[in-house]
Amino acid sequence: MNRINSTSVDGLLKDNTVLSAGMVISPVIMCGNNIQNAFALIYAFSIITLLSVAVASFIPKKLPYAIKITAYAVISSFIYIPIRVLSSEIYPDSIENIGIYFPLLAVNSLIVYQTEVRFFKLSRLNMLTNLVFYIFGFDVVILITAFIREMFGSGTINSNVVDIDFIVSGISQPFGGFILLGLMCGLYRKIRAISANEKNNTEVK
């Protein structure tokens, strides 16, 4: 049980989907500049990824790799269609702003790569637990970046004006998102390195 608990949270802490693995970074950089966009991406990414990987786990493992990857993409594409319709009803403005990056969620790295490398090597229950935390890892990062970029780029939080004197409009642009995400990656890896050193020192003692 301890082993399952320690590995299941890797996608959030030890091996964060965005900050460590560098997966699904395009939507974060290009579209994660306000809270509403972040909510729309979280909603779609979470449901599409969870359902796609869960359904794809029933595909026979003995099939050739190319056929399996194609099947995963087909499954996620079918799941994407109703999610797109629902998202357009819930977040109409955000879906228009996100543009081409929204359908790209259907072929994200967790579906087409991590399925074979990590998820499908686990038992189904353990796989779903791991998957949820990998998804949550993306959700947390894009929500944090969107909060920072909207507040300091537009002076608003979820479209509500806040009393802030320090505005950097460039942070709302893609290059601003790239720089912010780079700083977050560096900070994340620094904290992880310090944590690992402290753990090693404790074990030595």
pLDDT at 50 (0 to 100):
96
pLDDT at 3 (0 to 100):
47
Confidence of residue 5 (pLDDT cuts 50, 70, 90): low
Predicted confidence (pLDDT) per residue in 34-88, tens digit: 999 999 999 999 999 999 999 999 999 899 999 999 999 999 999 999 999 999 9
Residue 137 near residue 17 (C-beta atoms within 8 A): yes
pLDDT at 177 (0 to 100):
95
pLDDT at 205 (0 to 100):
60
> Where do the domains of the chain lie?
7-200
The residue to which tokens 């893609």 are assigned: 174
**Whole-number Å distance between alpha carbons of 54 and 32:** 26
pLDDT at 117 (0 to 100):
86
Closest of 8, 32, 19 to residue 183, by C-alpha: 19
pLDDT at 20 (0 to 100):
86
Asked whether residue 118 carries a pLDDT value surpassing 90, the answer given is no
DSSP 43: H
